[in-house]
């Protein structure tokens, strides 16, 4: 039975494949060393040095820690080393007591700490948590499932806190031990809508496949959208060399068609039940509010299945944004929109990662910095901002309106101040631009498009972009450089 398949009892088996075990031990030893050395920076290349290349016998040389682990950073390191000894010896009790102790120490330090917890401590927590998750036993099936749900949540929170450095090792360890994060979904819903009709006027109705529900309202597209002669050029798939010469090097935006035919995501991600099955029990960060720059915006951690059932279903109806004579925005208030935005969901859920292919265009020069998922209902808005890297934004489900402005327009776009956290974002809400305050915006050059399912948009570094979903939408962005 492969690690991906799940069936009743086998999914709770605790035997880790040898390679996973060795990888995990390397991560744990690296973290223990960083705790002992008080080293703060993560260096992925250093991690490799700790993987016991000679296999488990090498672990016999792990220095024997004292059995009394103090409630301090050194105590955490000792616990981690004891856990590795337990792993090498197949001593489940030893693994569990050492890793539970490490978790307790981090929790105590965290509660008593006024300052930020060092990265190595966070990693220690994540790794210990995974070990507890893998090796804990519960007597009956229901208790096992409940335990596993709690563990998955703990691992997700640990991963959201630690960032991506350990994600792969943690996921594959947990995955291999338990045969994947598969639960029988309790939620059954119609599939997500696939891309609907082209934009007709400015009114975006419920996508065809969606059940009719009370509508929420969002503002319409920015003024002057989709004018003839202002479109981002569309081309069919080109070879990597041509992409590099014609677009990446001269930094010329383009919509690419026909580059995603191989992606299983194109069909799978339209299916709610599929998303529930592979990701429903994972905890994800969700943005709530009009945009991440808006007042009252907040961020919540929620289960993917709750996000999908509560927020990915409501159809939206667009309303024109209006401004009174004195320039005040007097459009009717929008119902808060939830957006799973800029999240490394595909690192977190390997099954979703397998549904996409990394475009060869991102591998021609530089390296991939981040692969982010953007899942949400119609009406999500990412306000006008720029990023420092090359970007391919791949549209998997639904459509998005996107407006681009070149770096030369920066002055006209009134970026937030350099010392603010939003210094890469414009102060102008382009849905309802206040031209009295920002008159230069009226002259700023722009181009736009409606990106459809199966298309990718190349956004060169430092190009400003505004993104608004028109349907239930799933996209993936590849940042590289
Ligand atoms: O899809 C979105 O809402 C925003 C995407 C974006 O800003 C990006 O890929 O950099």
> CA quadruple 154, 158, 159, 160: dihedral positive or negative?
positive
- CA–centroid distance, 382 to ligand 1, in Å, is 6
Among 388, 397, 465, 478, which is best to mutate for testing ligand 1, by the most ligand atoms less than 8 A from CB?
465
Residue nearest to atom 9 of ligand 1 (CA): 477
60-64, 115-119, 356-360: range with lowest mean pLDDT? 60-64
- CA–centroid distance, 362 to ligand 1, in Å, is 16
Q: How confident is the model at residue 2 (pLDDT cuts 50, 70, 90)?
A: very low
Instruction: Please report, to the nearest 10 degrees, the dihedral formed by the alpha carbons of residues 304, 310, 311, 313 taken in order.
Output: 110
C-beta 173 within 6 A of ligand 1: no
pLDDT on residue 251: 98
Q: DSSP 3-state helix, strand, coil percentages of the chain (rounded to 5)?
A: 35, 20, 45
* Domain map (residue ranges) of the chain: 10-178, 216-480
Could you tell me the two tokens for 94? 């030893």
C-beta 457 within 6 A of ligand 1: no
Percentage of residues of the chain with pLDDT beyond 70: 70
pLDDT on residue 13: 38
- How far is it, in rounded angstroms, from Cα 57 to Cα 54? 7
Dihedrals phi, psi of 384, to nearest 5 degrees: -60, 120
- How far is it, in rounded angstroms, from Cα 260 to Cα 266? 8
- CA–centroid distance, 339 to ligand 1, in Å, is 11
Q: Which helix (H) or strand (E) holds 168?
A: helix 167-178
pLDDT on residue 293: 81
Place of tokens 């935005």: 341
What CA–CA distances, in Å, run from 400 to 84, 149, 277, 452? 48, 34, 26, 7
C-beta 393 within 6 A of ligand 1: yes
- CA–centroid distance, 443 to ligand 1, in Å, is 24
C-beta 475 within 6 A of ligand 1: yes
**CATH ID of 216-480, from 3.30.420.40, 3.40.50.150, 2.60.120.650, 3.50.50.60:** 2.60.120.650
- How far is it, in rounded angstroms, from Cα 352 to Cα 371? 12
Nearest C-alpha neighbor of 304 from the set 273, 331, 330: 273
Q: How confident is the model at residue 347 (pLDDT cuts 50, 70, 90)?
A: confident
Which residues are bridge partners to 454 per DSSP?
A: none
Q: Which helix (H) or strand (E) holds 119?
A: helix 119-135
Mean of pLDDT values over 462-478: 97
246: DSSP letter: I
Q: How confident is the model at residue 202 (pLDDT cuts 50, 70, 90)?
A: very low
Which residues are bridge partners to 374 per DSSP?
A: 475
Q: How confident is the model at residue 423 (pLDDT cuts 50, 70, 90)?
A: very high
Place of tokens 């210990």: 128
What is the pTM (predicted TM-score) of this model?
A: 0.68
């Amino acid at each position: 039975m492969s690690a991906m398949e799940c069936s009743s009892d086998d999914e709770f088996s605790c035997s880790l494949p040898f390679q996973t075990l060795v990888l995990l031990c390397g991560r744990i030893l690296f973290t223990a060393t960083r705790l002992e050395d008080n080293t703060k920076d993560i260096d992925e290349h250093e991690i490799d040095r700790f993987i016991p290349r000679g296999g488990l016998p090498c672990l016999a040389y792990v220095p024997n820690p004292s059995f009394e682990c103090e409630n301090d950073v050194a105590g955490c390191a000792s616990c981690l080393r004891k856990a590795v000894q337990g792993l090498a010896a197949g001593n489940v009790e030893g693994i569990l007591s050492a890793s539970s102790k490490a978790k307790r120490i981090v929790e105590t330090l965290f509660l008593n700490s006024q300052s930020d917890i060092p990265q190595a401590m966070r990693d220690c927590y994540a790794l210990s948590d995974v070990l507890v998750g893998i090796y804990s036993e519960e007597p009956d099936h229901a208790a096992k499932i409940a335990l596993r749900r709690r563990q998955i949540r703990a691992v997700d929170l640990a991963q959201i806190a630690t960032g991506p450095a350990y994600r792969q090792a943690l996921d594959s360890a947990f995955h291999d031990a338990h045969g994947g994060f598969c639960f029988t979904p309790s939620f059954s819903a119609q599939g997500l809508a696939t891309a609907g009709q082209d934009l007709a006027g400015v009114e975006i109705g419920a996508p065809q496949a969606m059940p009719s529900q009370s509508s929420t309202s969002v503002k319409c597209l920015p003024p002057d959208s989709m004018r003839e002669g202002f479109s981002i050029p569309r081309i069919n798939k080109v070879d990597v060399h041509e992409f590099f010469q014609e677009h990446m090097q001269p930094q010329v935006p383009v919509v690419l068609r026909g580059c995603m035919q191989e992606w299983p995501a194109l069909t799978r991600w339209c299916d709610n039940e599929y998303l529930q099955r592979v990701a429903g029990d994972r905890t994800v960060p969700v943005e709530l509010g009009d945009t991440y720059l808006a007042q009252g915006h907040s961020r919540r951690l929620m289960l993917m299945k709750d996000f999908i059932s509560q927020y990915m279903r409501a159809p939206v109806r667009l309303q024109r944004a209006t401004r009174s004579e004195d320039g005040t925005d007097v459009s009717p208030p929008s119902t808060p929109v939830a957006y799973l935005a800029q999240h490394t969901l595909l690192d977190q859920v390997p099954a979703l990662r397998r549904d996409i292919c990394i475009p060869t265009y991102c591998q021609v020069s530089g390296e991939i910095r981040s692969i982010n998922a953007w899942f949400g209902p119609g009406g999500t808005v990412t306000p006008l901002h720029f990023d420092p890297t090359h970007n391919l934004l791949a549209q998997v489900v639904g459509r998005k309106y996107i407006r681009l402005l070149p770096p030369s327009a920066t002055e006209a776009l009134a970026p937030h101040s350099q010392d603010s956290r939003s210094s890469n974002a414009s102060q102008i809400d382009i849905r309802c631009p206040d031209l009295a305050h920002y008159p230069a915006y009226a002259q700023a050059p722009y181009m736009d498009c409606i990106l459809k399912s199966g298309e990718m948009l190349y956004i060169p570094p430092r190009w400003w972009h505004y993104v608004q979903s028109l349907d239930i939408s799933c996209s993936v962005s590849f940042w590289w450089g």
